[in-house]
């Protein structure tokens, strides 16, 4: 009978002496694989195999890439006899977010058309043959999942003449799952100090 009592006591002790029931110190104890600690819980071991209380779905991502298609209206542009010129564009953006509010972007746009614009110095016409705009704007998003404002310099590359570009704009991201988003935006470019361009675009992006 003594032997049976000792065996029963040993079995009970073995079942209760598990890591999830150990007290590390007064303010900390391990509960089912998660750590509960206080200010004095310096000896707590961070064992959390179930990732309890961690939201991996909305984990902050520093990078975002996006592809966009749009149309640009350039009031000063002409195409033959056409005075109202709307030009199709495609864009590729690479963004790096320093925080949830501030970031920087490399925005690349191609205008898929040939047109002419007036030279501000002598009134001659300057040919624009599928120009490419490369801009490096600052990104500012003051509200979570709302609008992103952009502002910064750029260059329009074209074989006849390059233009300095000052760009401002606003866009928004609508998350569709797994860090993918649907993103409309409006961009205003001031080219060579006198040529205006307003672009309406819709993009698809992913954070990573």
| pLDDT over 70, % of the chain | 72
Top-confidence residue, 82 or 41: 82
- pLDDT band, residue 5 (cuts 50/70/90): very low
pLDDT at 47 over 80: no
Q: Is the dihedral of CA 57, 63, 69, 73 positive or negative?
A: positive
| Average pLDDT rounded to a whole number, residues 128-140 | 98
Interior/surface letters 125-163, b for 16+ CB within 10 angstroms, e for the rest:
ebebeebebebebebebeeeeeebebebebbbebeeeeb
Query: Which of the four pLDDT bands, split at 50, 70 and 90, describes residue 3?
Result: very low
Q: Which is more confidently placed, 119 or 56?
A: 119
Q: Which phi and psi angles does 178 have, rounded to 5°?
A: 55, 35
Q: pLDDT band at residue 121, thresholds of 50, 70 and 90?
A: confident
For residue 69, give both structure tokens: 């298609």
Q: Write out the residue limits of the CATH 2.40.160.20 domain(s) in the chain.
A: 63-207
Residues 170-182: what's their mean pLDDT?
A: 93
The token pair that represents 101 in the structure block: 């509010």
Q: Is domain 63-207 in CATH 1.10.3720.10, yes or no?
A: no
Confidence category of residue 19, pLDDT binned at 50, 70, 90: very low
Q: Would the pLDDT of 207 be above 80?
A: yes
Average pLDDT, the chain: 82
Q: How far apart are CA 65 and CA 92, in angstroms?
A: 8
Could you tell me which residues are beta bridge partners of residue 166?
Answer: 153, 190
- Is the pLDDT at 44 greater than 50? The verdict is no
Residue carrying structure tokens 């110190």: 25
The beta-strand segments (E) located in 60-179 are 63-73, 86-97, 102-111, 114-118, 125-129, 132-135, 138-140, 147-157, 163-172, 174-177
């Amino acid at each position: 009978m003594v032997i049976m009592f000792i065996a029963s006591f040993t079995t009970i002790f073995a079942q209760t002496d598990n890591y999830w029931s150990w007290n590390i110190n007064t303010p900390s104890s391990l509960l089912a694989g998660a750590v509960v600690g206080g200010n004095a819980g310096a000896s707590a071991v961070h064992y959390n195999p179930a990732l309890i209380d961690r939201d991996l779905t909305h984990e902050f991502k520093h990078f975002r890439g996006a592809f966009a298609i749009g149309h640009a209206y350039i009031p000063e542009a002409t195409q033959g006899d056409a005075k109202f010129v709307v030009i199709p564009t495609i864009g590729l953006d690479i963004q790096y977010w320093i925080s949830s509010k501030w970031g920087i972007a490399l925005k690349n746009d191609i205008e898929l058309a040939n047109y002419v614009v007036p030279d501000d110095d002598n009134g001659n016409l300057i040919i624009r043959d599928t120009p490419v705009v490369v801009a490096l704007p600052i990104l500012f998003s003051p509200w979570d999942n709302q609008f992103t404002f952009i502002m910064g310099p750029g260059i329009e590359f074209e074989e006849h003449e390059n233009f300095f570009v000052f760009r401002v704009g606003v866009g928004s991201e609508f998350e569709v799952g797994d860090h993918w988003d649907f993103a409309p935006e409006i961009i205003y470019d001031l080219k060579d100090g006198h040529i205006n361009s307003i672009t309406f675009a819709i993009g698809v992006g992913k954070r990573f």
